[in-house]
Every structure is written in structure tokens, then in C-alpha cells.
Amino acid sequence: MNNSSWRARRLALLEAESEVVETACGPIEIVRRGSAPYVLHLHGTPGGYDQSLSLGAPFLAAGMGSISVSRPGYLRTPISVGRTPAQQADAFAALLDALSIEQVVAQGISGGGPSSIHFAARHPDRVSALLLVCAVSTAYPIVIPAWSKLLMTPLGMRSGEWSLEKFPKSTIKQLIASESTYPPEQVKEVTERVLRDPAAVEFLTQLTQSSSPWEDRRAGFDNDIEVIQSVEHEPLPLESVKCPTLIVHGTADDDVPYFVAERAHERLENSELYAMEDACHLLWIDPGAAEMDRHQTNFVSTHT
């Protein structure tokens, strides 16, 4: 199947599952499940609403609602809705207005951290609690490996999916090596463990798929990289966040280093740091993932 036909087929599947909500800031693509209290999932980089669908499952199981959003520049949410984290935060408030929802728990995942922090700081009446999960929250040196740049094309992202399907061991090994501080022997051990865990393999499959079609996510990715790089000169307003905040981070994260979480914890007035010992950036494939989910749902239950 050529790329044009494949892209059209993938987009049709994605659009069949979501809806576009017209807001005062422009159209925003979402999937809403369950009922209040809602958790608003703000996905990582790259991504789209589909990246965070599985992450909402623990909250749904706990009797909460889940709203997965395509942030600006991803899928059917145009970049014009908001380029800066502050603009995106205002767009999320406008989304709640359009949905007639008074308040949510905001979950910022990885590159969704900056906009979730601004949302809690700028609209404190709309955010009852904040979850920062392996999130960008303070400045750090961002390095995009040369090999990964080769994948940042439509065919490159498709080849990543194909590689995971046809050569799971080598592909998962490379993913873990790039997202962790593990030495080679530990990368090998973790890879073998993941391969024995169907749920972990399924998570990585869904994560890989949430980068395609690349043409429909590239604008968001490029914008996110600019935002993350700008944090060094324009620190995020952590001191202005007053709601209860849970910071979840792996101590072996090599994508968003653990010290980012430690610094955010120092600056946030009302925060708890939940350190996942020896976990990489891909927290959901760690043996402690189920306990992490329980901790998050208990935190949300306490603060809604």
C-alpha cells in the first residue's frame, strides 16, 4: 500500500474514534469517556489523543472520567489553537467551557508538561489537581539523536511500526536503550522481560502507532521542541501552581532526566514526588506500573 493510501486509511480510523469540539480558541480533537470527575490527558511528544487512550484506563476503572486531547499541531487540532504553553492552557479552559465541565484533573505526560503546568497556573479554578508524569517541567539539555532524525519522515515512522512488528526484539532493545540510562547488560535484561509481557509489548505498539501519520503530527512535534528548548530562558510558572501536584518520574529516565522532577518538586508549593526506582521514560512497561496507576488514581480520588 502506498503512503497516500495508508495515510488515508489510518486517518479514517483515527477520525472515527474521536470528535472535534469547537471552542472559543478553535477546534480541538478529543475522546471523552466516562463521567465526572474527569482527568484531562495531555499527551507527550510526538503524539495525539490516541497516545493517551490506554493511559486513561486505570482512571475509568476507578470510576472517573477520561478526556484524551490532541494538543495543537497534532491530528485534527490545528497549531493555530495555541503555539505557546500559555495559549494552549487557555485553549484547554475554552474546551471545558464548550463541554460544560467546571473542573478537571490535568495530567501532563512528557512533552505535555509545559501546557499542563500553565493550565494549572493560569486557570486555578479549573484544575483541582495536577499529575506530572515523566513530564517536562524544568530546563534540561535536549538532544535528538542523529539516528532518530532519520525516522522523522512519513516513511520513517511507518518503518518504525513495521520494525516493531517484524523485529520486536531489536526494536524494543533500541527503544529501551534510547529512553534509559541503563548499561548494555541491563538493556538486554529489560528487553527480555518486556518481550515476555504481552501488555508491555502492546503498550509499545500503541505508542509507536501514535507517531503516525507523521504529516499530521509534525507541526505539533516541531512546536513542542521549540517550547522545550525555550524553558531554559522562559521558566515554567511552577511557583504559581497552588493545586495538589503529584510528580511521577523514573530515576533511570534518559529522555527527561530525573533531576527535572526533583527541581520541579522543590519549586512546587504543594507537591509529592513519586520516584519509580530504576524506571526509564517508558514508565508503563516497568514492573511498578500497576502500583504507579494505583497511586495516581488514589491521589485523584483524594483531591476531587
Look at residue 132 in the predicted model and tell me its pLDDT: 98
CA distance 101 to 127: 11
CB contact set of 199 (below 8 Å; sequence gap of 6+): none
CA distance 110 to 133: 6
Look at residue 149 in the predicted model and tell me its pLDDT: 62
Look at residue 175 in the predicted model and tell me its pLDDT: 93
Look at residue 150 in the predicted model and tell me its pLDDT: 61
Look at residue 3 in the predicted model and tell me its pLDDT: 75
User: CA geometry: angle at 172 spanning 170 and 177, to 5°?
Assistant: 95
Domain residues of the chain, as ranges?
A: 3-142+215-302, 146-209
Q: How far is CA 97 from the centre of its chain?
A: 23
Q: Where are the beta strands (DSSP E) in 43-150?
A: 65-69, 104-109, 127-133
Look at residue 268 in the predicted model and tell me its pLDDT: 98
Crossing angle of helices 85-99 and 113-122, rounded to 10°: 70
CATH 3.40.50.1820 fits 3-142+215-302, yes or no: yes
Four-point Cα dihedral 112, 33, 211, 181, nearest 10: 50
Q: Where are the beta strands (DSSP E) in 112-244?
A: 127-133
Q: Tell me, yes or no, if the pTM score tops 0.85.
A: yes
Extract the C-alpha cell encoding 14.
483515527
Closest to 151 measured CA to CA, from 228, 46, 72: 46
**Spans of the chain, pLDDT less than 70:** 1, 145-151, 154-156
Summarize pLDDT for 241-274 with one digit per residue, the tens.
Answer: 999 999 999 999 999 999 999 999 999 999 999 9
CA distance 114 to 91: 14
Look at residue 147 in the predicted model and tell me its pLDDT: 56
Look at residue 141 in the predicted model and tell me its pLDDT: 86
Crossing angle of helices 154-166 and 198-209, rounded to 10°: 170
Look at residue 270 in the predicted model and tell me its pLDDT: 97
